[in-house]
Amino acid sequence: MSSHDHHHGGHEAPSHAHHHPAPDAENLVHCPVMPNNFVDPEQAEQQGLYRDYEGKRYWFCCAECGPLWDADPARYAHAA
């Protein structure tokens, strides 16, 4: 028999990228110390993971970021 019974799947690129965080990403911000990490400002404030600098609030992804920020806030604020 000469019929070809199977179909080849499309070889298209995925239609969406996987770099988006959780579904409610509009509430998230980047950590200024570790910019690849996302932060929920509300949760960060509840945990004390933030600093105010030059009239702006910055939220951190973890407790380790606070001391790093404190050592050189201008470095991280200007990179954010």
**In the chain, domain spans:** 27-76
CA 60, 64, 68, 71: dihedral to nearest 10 degrees? 110
Asked if pLDDT for residue 37 goes beyond 60, the answer is yes
Average pLDDT score over the chain: 81
> In Å, what is the CA distance from 12 to each residue of 6, 7, 17, 40?
18, 15, 13, 34
Tell me what pLDDT residue 1 has. 54
Q: What is the pTM of this model?
A: 0.68
Between 21 and 36, whose confidence is greater? 36
Asked if pLDDT for residue 10 goes beyond 70, the answer is no
